[in-house]
Amino acid sequence: MMTRLLKFRPADAVTIVFSLFLLVLTLFFFGKIPSAGSLVVVYSSLVLFQVVLINLGRSTKFFAIVYDLIFPVLSVLIIFDSLGLIVHNINPHDIDYLLIRLDYRIFDGYPTVLLEKIVHPLLTDVLQTAYATYYFLPIILGLALWVKGKREIFEKSVFLILLCFYLSYIGYLLFPALGPRYTMQHLQSKELHGFLISGPLQGMLNLLEGIKRDAFPSGHTGVALTVILLAYRYERTLFRWLTVPVLLLIFATVYCRYHYVIDVICGIILTVVTIAAGEVYYQFWLSRGPLKSKTFGARDI
């Protein structure tokens, strides 16, 4: 058992480390965080389940699917949802005023207000749909690599994508911001109405995401660019299919009033930091104990 624990994947390590970080943070601010006891259970459970899955590995097809595909997605969703109880309670100082000022200096105006010139129901539907593809991009890439049995590439991609998610969450903790859809609503003269799609999608995203002060940096930009860069490296056909949706997604972050432009710029920087730091750690991990098999996946289980 100890041998397996010492050989956990970078993807396992980053989830365990970040869950422990949030666990310690919750314990430190226990008196300030509502439902802190529940969060302690959640973060402890994430660490425990990750350790269990490390030991079970791919012993059966079921555990292989849970270990490789299901648990990483669940970890991101659970951790993201938990931030709503943490961020504003430990850091109540929103920085929207600073982000608004930076945007104004760059564009000599407010980008979401300037974009009202091109607001159209059809464009709103298209861009709101593109914005929602964010939730599927990592899954699409992961499935493509997993099904083709590209083990080492899959392992590396999952690690880098998880790292990007967790780094963006650290940004939310350090620099909480609501985003222009809340702070600049009084300046907008046009509502973002679509024909059929944007309204239901906006309602669903508002229900799922809630108010978490998750504007800075733009995780949508960081994760989407990380996925597209990995696709360019390892799945060129998929890269060609995803390029337009990702570009539309990035534009949609501002058009749909979820992010300031400075959020997007820092989302790009987030991608650079993720790839640079992730590559260094991943190469270090390979030097300690490289994967013995280069292929795995649906065919091998």
- Owning domain of residue 279: 92-300
Residues 59 and 196 in one domain: no
Looking at 55, 73, 90, the residue that finishes a domain is 90
* pLDDT for position 4: 44
Helices and strands in the chain: count of H runs, count of E runs: 15, 0
**Residue found under tokens 């709503």:** 84
Residues 194 and 230 in one domain: yes
Q: How far apart are CA 284 and CA 289, in angstroms?
A: 9
* pLDDT for position 292: 44
Structural domains of the chain, count? 2
Looking at 90, 110, 125, the residue that finishes a domain is 90
Q: How far apart are CA 206 and CA 217, in angstroms?
A: 18
* pLDDT for position 211: 65
Residues 181 and 294 in one domain: yes
Token couple for 232 = 């360019």
Residues 236 and 106 in one domain: yes
Residues 37 and 72 in one domain: yes
Residues 67 and 203 in one domain: no
Please give the DSSP secondary-structure letter assigned to residue 161.
H
The stretches in the chain having pLDDT less than 50 are 1-6, 290-296, 299-301
Helices (H), 175-218: 180-183, 198-209
Strand partners, 150: 295
* pLDDT for position 198: 83
Residues 30 and 164 in one domain: no
Looking at 70, 90, 110, the residue that finishes a domain is 90
Residues 78 and 120 in one domain: no
Residues 244 and 184 in one domain: yes
Residue 214, SS3?
strand
Burial of 259 (0-12, 13-18, 19+ CB in 10 A): buried
Residues 137 and 174 in one domain: yes
Residues 71 and 99 in one domain: no
**Residue found under tokens 């392992």:** 155
Residues 171 and 281 in one domain: yes
CB 76 within 8 A of CB 162: yes
